[in-house]
C-alpha cells in the first residue's frame, strides 16, 4: 500500500492510454461494415420545408441513402427528465419528424455513405426550398415576449422574496443599481459530439459522447419504443463536455435511426465549423439588473437581482443567474426575479456552473461597485455581510470555511499592500490592478451503485456506470479503493462508462466523486471484511481466532497489528479456500437535496457467510441515517486576481490568479488543482474574449469555429496559485469530498473584471471586456 494515498497527486490511471492514443473515444470505435452519416442543416431561421430534392445526392457513387422527415423512423414521445437523469435537449423537436424549422442550422436530413467524404459532398448537393416565416432572434425586439419560467423546468429555480426589498432599498443610506450583460458562450469540448450505432437483431449498441450513459439509454429506448434492456450505451472516455453532453442532442438518436434505415452501423460526428455551434447547446445570453442597498458601514439592507435570459421555441432551459444571490450574503430583504424570452435559436443547456457562473459575475461586480462607493475594502464588505447560515432557509452550512479562503488568498496576492486608488498603479509600462470575488457552487450528491471483485491474483476490479469526462474519476476512485483495501494503486482497476455496469450518476453538477466515493468505500470495506472473516475462521490461517480489529493490511497482505511476521496475502486466502473471486455490489442512495436510502445487493453466486456483508450494510446504514434535512450543502472559495493593462492599446493580460477553495476533503491534489485551473481559464475567456455573435438579419451564427470564437490559449495563461482548505465535510459523506469541477469558474470572471477596473478606473458591465471598451 502507498502510505497516505488519499490526497496525493497520483498520476492519472488513464494518462498513458490518452498520451499514446489508445484510449478509445466514441468516434474511434471501428465497427464492422460501418457507414458514415452527415447531417444537412436548415438555412432559414423559421418556416417549413416545401420540397427537399435528394436525387442528386442519391445518384452519387458510395451514397447508401438519404434520410429525411419523409422516410425516417418514427419516434415516440417521451417524458423529459431532469438534466442529469436523462434529458433530451429539444422536447418539441424530435429529429426528422416533420418539415417544420425552428432555427437556423437545425438538422433536416442525414446522408449515409460509404465514407465520410462522400457523405459530406452528397449533403452539399441536396436542394431544399422553404416557406419562410417571421422569426424572433434578437434578444430585445418588438416581437420578443418576456415571461416567467415554470417551476421544475431545466435549470429553473423559483423566484425568491424576503422582507420588503423595494422599501428597504429606498430607505438605504447607500445604493447602487446597475445592469450587467453576458453574451452567448459555447462549450467547445476538445471532442465534438459523436455517436456510432449498431443494431444486431432487435438489440442496439450505441457509442456516444455522453455525460450520462444511463440517461442516454433511457431516452433512446423510450424514443425508439423498445425495452431498456435492448439498449447498451458505451462511453469509456469523454473528451470534455462542460454540460453540453449532459443533455442528449439529435445526433445521439439520429445515428440509431440511420443504422436502422440502412441496416448497417452508422457513425455521425458533428463538425467544428458550424454544427458544434448550432446543434449542441450553449450558454444563454443574460441581462442582469442588480440593486444593492446598505448602511454606511456596508451592512446590506436590501438586494435585488432580476435576470432575463433566453430559451428556444422547442424547449425551455433557464439560466438561473439569481440562484446564487439567494444564499451567498446575509440580508433580510431580497427580491430575485427570473424572466425568459423565446428565440428562434437552438436550445441553451447547462454550461459549466449553469446560473452560478454568470450570476456570480454580476453580483460580485456589483459588490465591488458598492465597496468603492462606500470607500470600503471590497474584501471587508464581504466579511461584513458574511452569511453564518443559509439566509434563504436558515439552515446551517454542512461545512463553510470561506473566511479562511479570504485570509489565505489575500495574503498570497498581497491584497493589503495594493494602492487602493483605481488607475493609479503602474508596473513598468502597464497599469496594474487587483480584484477579488467569492466563489460558490452547490455540493451535490445522489445515488450510485458499485460492483467490486477481488480475484485470486490479488487484483481488484470495480465497475460503475458513471463517466470520466476528463476530470480524473478513474484515478480518484482507484485511490479510494486502494487505500481501503491496503493495495498498491496498480493492483486496482476501475471500469466506467457502460450500461452493463451497475448504475452510477450522470457527470454533472459537480457530484461524481461525492456520489461514487462512498459507494466505492463501502464496497471495498465489505470485501476487506469478507477476506478477514475468512482468515480468522480458518484454522489453517496464521490469523485464526483473531478479531477483525486485530488485523491490519498492507500491500495486499493481512497481518496481526504489531506483529507483521504473522499474516498472509489475499491470494493465499482465496487459493486455500478455492475461491477464484469474492465479489460484492453496494448501493448508496443519499441526496443532498432530501431523501436517502441504501441497501446491499447480494449476487446469487456470492460465496461466504451472509453476515460477512454486515460491514457494508452498517457503513451504508450509518451514512443514510444521518439527518441532513436541516443542512445546506455548498462549496465556497475566493479568487484574487492581478491584471496588467497596456494604457495605449488597452490590451489586458491576467498576470496572476490566486484561488483558495473550500471543497471538502481533497482526494487527489493534482486532479483537484487541474479542475480549479480549468475553471479559472474559462473565467479568463468569459471576462476578456469569448462571445458568440449572430447575424442580426438572419439569426445565423457568425462565429462558427475557433478561428472566430476566441478562447484562451497558452500565451494567455497567468501564474496560478491554487490552494485548498482541505477540511473534510463529513455531513455530505463519510469520504468528506465535494465536487471541484464547477466552482472554479464561479466568481473568477468578476474578480478579473474588478481587477481591470482597479487598473484603469473604467467599469465595463457588458462582457467581454475587449480593448475597444477601455479606449
Which residues are known to be catalytic?
Answer: 742
- Which pairing describes strands 634-645 and 652-662: parallel, antiparallel, or unpaired? antiparallel
C-alpha–C-alpha distance, residues 490 and 481, integer Å: 11
C-alpha–C-alpha distance, residues 444 and 16, integer Å: 31
- Say if CB 215 and CB 323 are below 8 A apart: no
> What is the DSSP annotation of 618-665?
HHHHHHHHS--TTEE-EEEEEEEEEEEE-TTT--EEEEEEEEEEE-BS
- Say if CB 492 and CB 482 are below 8 A apart: yes
Q: Which of 525, 517, 514 is nearest to 464 (CA)?
A: 517
Residue 697: count of CB within 10 angstroms of its CB:
9
Residues 6+ positions from 713 with CB-CB distance below 8 Å? none
C-alpha–C-alpha distance, residues 225 and 10, integer Å: 45
Q: Cell digits for 736?
A: 468528506
- Which pairing describes strands 719-724 and 652-662: parallel, antiparallel, or unpaired? parallel
What CA dihedral angle connects 228, 234, 237 and 242, to 10 degrees? -30
Identify whether 768 is preceded by a cis peptide bond (ω within 30 of 0): yes
- 437 DSSP 8-state letter: E
Q: Cell digits for 514?
A: 461525492
- Say if CB 313 and CB 300 are below 8 A apart: no
- Say if CB 504 and CB 469 are below 8 A apart: no
C-alpha–C-alpha distance, residues 337 and 291, integer Å: 12
Amino acid at each position: 500500500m502507498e502510505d497516505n494515498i488519499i490526497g496525493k497527486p497520483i498520476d492519472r490511471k488513464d494518462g498513458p492510454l490518452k498520451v499514446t492514443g489508445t484510449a478509445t473515444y466514441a468516434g474511434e470505435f471501428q465497427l464492422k461494415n460501418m457507414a458514415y452519416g452527415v447531417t444537412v442543416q436548415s438555412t432559414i431561421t423559421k418556416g417549413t420545408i416545401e420540397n427537399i430534392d435528394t436525387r442528386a445526392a442519391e445518384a452519387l457513387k458510395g451514397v447508401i441513402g438519404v434520410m429525411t422527415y419523409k422516410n425516417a423512423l418514427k419516434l415516440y414521445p417521451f417524458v423529459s427528465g431532469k438534466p442529469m437523469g436523462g434529458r433530451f435537449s429539444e422536447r418539441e423537436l424530435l429529429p426528422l419528424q416533420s418539415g417544420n424549422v425552428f432555427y437556423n442550422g437545425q438538422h433536416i436530413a442525414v446522408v449515409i455513405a460509404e465514407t465520410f467524404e462522400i457523405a459530406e459532398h452528397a449533403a452539399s448537393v441536396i436542394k431544399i426550398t422553404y416557406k419562410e416565416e417571421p422569426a424572433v432572434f434578437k434578444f430585445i425586439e418588438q416581437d420578443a415576449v418576456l415571461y416567467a419560467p415554470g417551476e421544475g423546468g431545466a435549470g429553473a429555480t423559483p423566484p425568491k422574496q424576503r422582507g420588503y426589498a423595494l422599501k428597504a432599498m429606498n430607505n438605504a443610506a447607500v445604493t447602487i443599481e446597475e445592469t450587467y450583460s453576458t453574451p452567448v458562450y459555447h462549450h467547445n469540448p476538445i471532442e465534438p459530439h459523436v455517436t456510432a450505432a449498431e443494431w444486431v437483431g432487435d438489440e442496439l449498441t450505441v457509442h456516444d459522447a455522453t455525460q450520462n450513459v444511463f440517461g442516454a439509454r433511457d431516452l433512446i429506448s423510450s424514443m425508439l419504443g423498445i425495452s431498456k434492456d435492448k439498449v447498451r450505451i458505451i462511453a469509456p472516455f469523454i473528451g470534455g463536455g462542460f454540460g453540453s453532453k449532459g443533455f442528449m442532442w439529435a445526433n445521439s438518436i439520429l445515428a440509431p435511426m440511420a443504422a436502422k434505415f440502412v441496416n448497417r452501423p452508422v457513425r455521425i460526428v458533428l463538425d467544428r465549423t458550424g454544427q458544434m455551434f448550432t446543434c449542441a447547446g450553449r450558454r444563454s445570453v443574460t441581462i442582469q439588473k442588480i440593486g444593492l442597498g446598505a448602511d454606511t458601514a456596508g451592512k446590506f439592507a436590501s438586494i435585488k437581482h432580476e435576470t432575463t435570459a433566453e430559451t428556444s421555441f422547442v424547449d425551455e432551459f433557464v439560466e438561473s443567474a439569481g440562484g446564487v444571490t439567494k444564499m451567498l450574503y446575509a440580508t433580510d430583504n431580497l427580491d430575485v426575479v427570473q424572466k425568459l424570452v423565446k428565440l428562434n435559436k437552438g436550445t441553451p443547456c447547462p454550461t459549466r456552473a449553469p446560473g452560478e457562473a454568470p450570476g456570480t459575475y454580476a453580483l460580485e461586480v456589483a459588490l465591488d461597485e458598492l465597496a468603492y462607493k462606500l470607500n470600503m475594502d471590497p474584501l471587508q464588505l464581504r466579511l461584513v455581510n458574511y452569511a453564518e447560515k443559509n439566509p434563504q432557509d436558515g439552515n446551517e452550512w454542512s461545512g463553510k470555511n470561506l473566511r479562511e479562503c479570504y485570509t489565505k488568498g489575500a495574503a498570497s496576492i498581497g491584497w493589503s499592500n495594493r494602492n487602493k486608488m483605481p488607475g493609479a498603479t503602474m508596473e513598468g509600462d502597464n497599469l496594474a490592478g487587483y480584484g477579488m470575488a467569492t466563489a460558490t457552487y452547490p455540493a451535490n450528491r445522489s445515488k450510485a451503485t458499485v460492483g467490486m471483485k477481488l480475484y485470486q491474483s490479488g487484483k481488484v476490479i470495480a465497475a460503475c456506470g458513471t463517466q470520466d469526462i476528463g476530470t480524473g474519476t478513474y484515478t480518484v476512485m482507484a485511490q479510494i479503493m486502494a487505500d481501503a483495501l491496503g493495495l498498491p494503486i496498480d493492483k486496482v482497476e476501475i471500469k466506467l462508462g457502460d450500461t452493463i455496469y451497475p448504475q452510477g450518476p450522470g457527470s454533472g453538477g459537480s457530484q461524481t466523486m461525492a456520489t461514487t466515493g462512498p459507494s466505492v468505500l463501502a464496497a471495498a470495506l465489505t470485501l476487506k471484511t469478507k477476506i478477514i472473516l475468512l482468515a480468522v475462521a480458518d484454522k489453517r490461517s496464521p490469523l485464526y481466532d483473531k478479531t477483525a480489529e486485530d488485523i491490519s493490511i498492507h500491500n495486499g497482505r493481512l497481518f496481526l497489528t504489531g506483529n507483521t511476521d504473522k499474516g498472509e496475502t489475499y491470494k493465499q486466502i482465496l487459493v486455500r479456500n478455492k475461491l477464484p473471486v469474492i465479489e460484492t455490489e453496494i448501493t448508496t442512495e443519499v441526496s443532498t437535496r432530501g431523501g436517502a436510502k441504501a441497501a446491499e445487493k447480494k449476487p446469487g453466486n456470492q460465496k461466504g457467510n451472509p453476515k460477512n456483508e454486515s460491514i457494508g450494510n452498517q457503513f451504508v446504514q450509518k451514512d443514510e441515517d444521518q439527518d441532513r434535512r436541516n443542512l445546506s450543502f455548498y462549496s465556497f472559495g475566493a479568487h484574487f486576481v492581478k491584471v496588467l493593462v497596456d494604457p495605449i492599446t488597452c490590451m489586458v493580460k491576467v498576470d496572476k490568479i490566486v484561488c483558495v477553495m473550500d471543497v471538502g476533503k481533497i482526494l487527489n491534489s493534482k486532479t483537484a488543482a487541474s479542475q480549479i485551473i480549468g475553471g479559472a481559464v474559462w473565467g479568463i475567456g468569459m471576462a476578456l474574449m469569448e462571445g458568440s455573435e449572430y447575424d442580426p438579419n438572419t439569426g445565423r451564427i457568425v462565429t462558427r469555429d475557433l478561428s472566430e470564437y476566441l478562447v484562451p490559449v497558452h500565451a494567455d495563461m497567468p501564474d496560478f496559485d491554487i490552494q485548498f482548505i482541505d477540511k473534510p465535510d463529513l455531513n455530505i459523506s463519510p469520504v468528506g469530498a465535494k465536487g471541484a469541477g464547477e466552482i472554479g469558474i464561479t466568481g473568477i470572471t468578476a474578480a478579473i473584471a474588478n481587477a481591470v477596473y482597479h487598473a484603469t478606473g473604467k467599469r465595463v458591465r457588458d462582457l467581454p471586456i475587449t480593448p475597444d471598451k477601455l479606449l
